[in-house]
């Protein structure tokens, strides 16, 4: 509070507000701003058009809880302690960016998905989903300890709550508002008004959809293939059942739909009944069945994204109409990327490009001149130091991320920015069976080590092989690169104090 007292009311009001919108599993390939021509996200694209789009934006550990912990602390998972969803409980007594902003006079609020198990700390106000949350009439955990169902579709409810909070805030002090959506997490239940949206569209499969994982042992052993009915469940993900007989559906899925009011529930089942009728009539097998599953996945994901984009638009309209845009940093990102059929997959976790990446768009407050695309490599541990610096708060020396302020101000960064990022995924054994691994990515190369119950190294030349189909670790032509990348990895593990580093 001392820092706040030292600032005049005028200085207080000049510090930018921060609206941080983070979605769940919304991958860069599913935004038109990043080049998807099948799926329109006009409101998100507008943030990029008026601000900046990061082309090389990555996470440190591609999973919900760990990503959130990295963002809040500016530190890698092995330092902040939340390494995986299955056994993690976030230590809320540690230093976090919201706490530092709060101490400097910022109003701090968090709405939506939290997923860090312990109660949020460092927020003046919080109102969170429980665990993964629900799409229809979601249950919220309020700050006073009570829980209640909020009527409506989750993405709309979260935006309403965010706007309501901004309405009643102290308008003389800056704020940071975290808007954390459940969308577009599995199993992609659409807002009812968009049930029929995208149904006429055929989505193009990525070129490496039928990957056979040659030379990549961990990829051979995962459980996240669209083709496998064990992984992408017909009765859960594609919502297929015998028409009129929902008894074969996954109970978890039925429970989600049961939350709807009777009239809406009827609309819902009528729609998926027609899909299931059609499915039965076609009697698909082999590749045709996989193709059908892929189209169902894409269409439902796209519908969920549609509502998300509408709500980003609604939030931006509020900021615009209230004259707040000039003094607000708006950030749009996701907790990680996702596979949209690349390598034949859904889900994330792997250090391959689509889930290592996360979309990152920013609309900048006055005084930050950069516009357009930024290609420097950035990571979610960078958000905390960025927000702190923008708020005029000294960045503690134990924060591992780098402030993005020089990039946002348009300063020349050639030769001064980082030349590699570090990644470490810890959750195994677990759902989707992705082995533990760590690695380093430079502008051109990527070295990965899968460790626990296998011991496998992979090396990719992203320039020659952007879809990561050819592991060149044992290719003599890459011997020199391999050596350099090992050196880089050792350096980074030491620098980030990962206990897995070679002693």
Binding region for Ca ion (CB under 5 A)? 24-25, 64, 335
In the complex, the smallest distance separating the C-beta of residue 335 from ligand SGN, rounded to whole angstroms, is: 6
61 vs 83: CA distance, rounded Å: 8
Q: DSSP for 152-170?
A: SBHHHHHHHHHHHHHHHS-
By CB under 6 A, residue 427 contacts ligand SGN: no
Residue 56: name its binding partner from Ca ion, ligand SGN, none (Cβ under 5 to 8 Å by kind). none
Shortest separation between residue 356's beta carbon and ligand SGN, angstroms = 14
Three-class SS state of 378: strand
Integer angstrom CA distances of residue 244 from 191, 250, 272, 275, 435: 22, 15, 10, 11, 40
**Which of 51, 359 has the CB closer to Ca ion?**
359
Comparing CB distances to ligand SGN, the nearer of 11 and 252 is: 252
Is the CB of 29 or the CB of 64 nearer to ligand SGN? 64
Distance, in Å, from the CA atom of 38 to the CA atom of 95, rounded to the nearest integer, reads 42
Q: What Rg, from alpha-carbon coordinates, does the chain have?
A: 23
> Shortest approach of ligand SGN to residue 452 CB, angstroms?
18
d(CA 45, CA 33): 5
Part in contact with ligand SGN (CB under 6 A); list of ranges 184-192, 196-204, 322-330, 398-406: 184-192
Helix ranges (H only) for 259-327 are 262-282, 286-321
Residue 357 contacts which entry, Ca ion, ligand SGN, none (Cβ below 5-8 A, type-dependent): none
Within a 10 A sphere around the Cβ of 245, how many other Cβ atoms?
10
Partner in contact with 432, chosen from ligand SGN, Ca ion, none, beta carbon below 5 to 8 Å by kind? ligand SGN
* Residue span 65-104 as binding mask against ligand SGN, x where in contact by CB under 6 A, dash where not: --------------------x-------------------
Listed in sequence order, the residues at least 6 apart from 448 whose beta carbon sits closer than 8 Å to its beta carbon are 351, 437, 438, 439, 457, 458, 459, 460
Please state the closest distance from residue 106 (CB atom) to ligand SGN, in A. Answer: 27
Q: Rule CB under 6 A: say whether 309 interacts with ligand SGN.
A: no
Cβ proximity to ligand SGN: between 186 and 449 the closer is 186
- Residue 64 binds ligand SGN, judged by CB under 6 A: yes
Distance in Å, CB of 335 to Ca ion, minimum = 4
Q: Do the Cβ atoms of 47 and 377 come closer than 8 Å? A: no
- E strand or H helix at 109, and its extent? strand 107-112
Give CA torsion, residues 372, 405, 420, 62, to 10 deg: -80
Phi-psi region of 339 (alpha: psi -120 to 50; beta: other; left: phi over 0): beta
Nearer to Ca ion, 182 or 363 (CB): 182
Nearest to ligand SGN of 393, 434 (CB atom): 434
Buried-exposed string 257-282: b where 16+ CB fall within 10 A, e elsewhere: bebbeeeeeeebbebbbebbeebeee
Calculate the alpha carbon distances from 297 to 84, 196, 236, 304 in Å: 26, 14, 11, 11
Show the binding pattern over residues 19-48: x = contacts ligand SGN (CB under 6 A), - = does not: -----xx-----------------------
Q: Residue 417: how many CB atoms within 10 A of its CB?
A: 15
Decide if residue 127 touches ligand SGN (CB under 6 A): no
291 binds, among ligand SGN, Ca ion, none (CB under 5 to 8 A by kind): none
Compare residues 122 and 337 and give the one whose CB is closer to ligand SGN: 337
Give residue number: closest CB to ligand SGN: 64
Cβ–Cβ < 8 Å for 231, 367: no
Q: Does 347 bind ligand SGN (CB under 6 A)?
A: yes
256 near ligand SGN, rule: CB under 6 A: no
Q: Residue with structure tokens 């592991």?
A: 471
CA distances from 141 to 130, 289, 333 (A): 6, 40, 23
Residue 376 interacts with, from ligand SGN, Ca ion, none (CB under 5-8 Å by kind): none
Among 134, 160, 431, 475, binds ligand SGN (CB under 6 A): 431
Segment near ligand SGN (CB under 6 A), from 45-53, 185-193, 269-277, 384-392?
Answer: 185-193
Tell me whether strands 437-442 and 445-450 are parallel, antiparallel or unpaired.
Answer: antiparallel
Interaction between residue 187 and ligand SGN (CB under 6 A)? yes
Shorter beta-carbon distance to ligand SGN: residue 183 or 260: 183
C-alpha 76/C-alpha 90 separation (Å) is 13
CA distance 74 to 97: 8
**CB of residue 25 vs Ca ion: minimum separation in angstroms?**
4
Site string for ligand SGN, 210-249 (x = CB under 6 A): ----------------------------------------
Binding site residues, ligand SGN, CB under 6 A: 24-25, 63-64, 85, 132, 185-187, 335, 347, 431-432
């Amino acid at each position: 509070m001392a820092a706040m007292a030292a600032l005049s009311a005028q200085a207080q009001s000049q510090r930018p507000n921060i609206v941080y919108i983070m979605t769940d599993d919304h991958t860069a390939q599913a935004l038109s701003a990043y080049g998807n021509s099948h799926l329109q996200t006009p409101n998100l694209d507008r943030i990029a058009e008026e601000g900046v789009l990061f082309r090389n934006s990555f996470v440190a550990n591609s999973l919900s809880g760990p990503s959130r912990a990295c963002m809040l602390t500016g530190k890698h998972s092995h330092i902040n302690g939340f390494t995986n969803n299955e056994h993690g409980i976030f230590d809320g007594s540690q230093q976090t960016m919201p706490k530092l902003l709060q101490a400097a006079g910022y109003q701090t609020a968090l709405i939506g998905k939290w997923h860090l198990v312990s109660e949020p700390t460092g927020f003046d106000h919080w109102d969170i989903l429980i665990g993964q949350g629900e799409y229809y009439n979601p249950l919220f955990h309020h700050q006073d300890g009570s829980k209640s169902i909020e009527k409506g579709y989750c993405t709309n409810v979260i935006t309403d709550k965010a706007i309501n909070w901004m309405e009643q805030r102290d308008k003389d002090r800056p704020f940071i508002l975290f808007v954390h959506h459940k969308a577009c997490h599995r199993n992609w239940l659409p807002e009812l008004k968009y049930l029929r949206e995208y149904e006429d569209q055929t989505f193009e499969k990525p070129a490496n959809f039928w990957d056979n994982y040659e030379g990549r042992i961990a990829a051979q052993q995962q459980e996240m293939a669209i083709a496998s009915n064990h992984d992408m469940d017909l009765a859960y993900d594609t919502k297929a059942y015998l028409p009129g007989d929902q008894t074969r559906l996954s109970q978890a899925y039925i429970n989600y739909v049961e939350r709807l009011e009777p009239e809406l529930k009827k609309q819902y089942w009528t729609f998926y009944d027609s899909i299931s009728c059609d499915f039965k009539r076609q009697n698909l097998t082999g590749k045709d069945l996989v193709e059908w599953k892929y189209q169902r996945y894409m269409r439902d994901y796209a519908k969920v994204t549609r509502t998300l984009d509408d709500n980003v638009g609604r939030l931006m309209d509020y900021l615009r109409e209230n004259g707040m845009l000039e003094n607000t940093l708006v950030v749009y990102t996701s907790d990680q990327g996702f596979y949209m059929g690349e390598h034949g997959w859904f889900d994330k976790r792997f250090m391959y490009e689509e889930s290592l990446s996360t979309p990152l768009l920013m609309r900048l407050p006055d005084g930050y001149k950069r516009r357009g695309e930024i290609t420097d490599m950035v990571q979610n541990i960078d958000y905390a130091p960025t927000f702190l610096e923008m708020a005029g708060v000294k960045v503690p020396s134990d924060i591992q991320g780098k402030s993005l302020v020089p990039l946002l101000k348009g300063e020349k960064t050639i030769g001064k920015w980082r030349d590699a990022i570090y990644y470490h995924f810890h959750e195994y054994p677990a759902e989707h069976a992705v082995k533990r691994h760590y690695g380093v990515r430079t502008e051109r190369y990527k070295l990965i080590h899968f460790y626990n119950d296998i011991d496998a190294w992979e090396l990719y030349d992203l320039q020659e092989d952007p879809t990561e189909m050819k592991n060149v670790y044992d290719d003599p032509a890459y011997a020199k690169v391999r050596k350099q990348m090992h050196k880089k990895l050792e350096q980074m593990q030491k620098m980030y104090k990962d206990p897995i580093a070679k002693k």
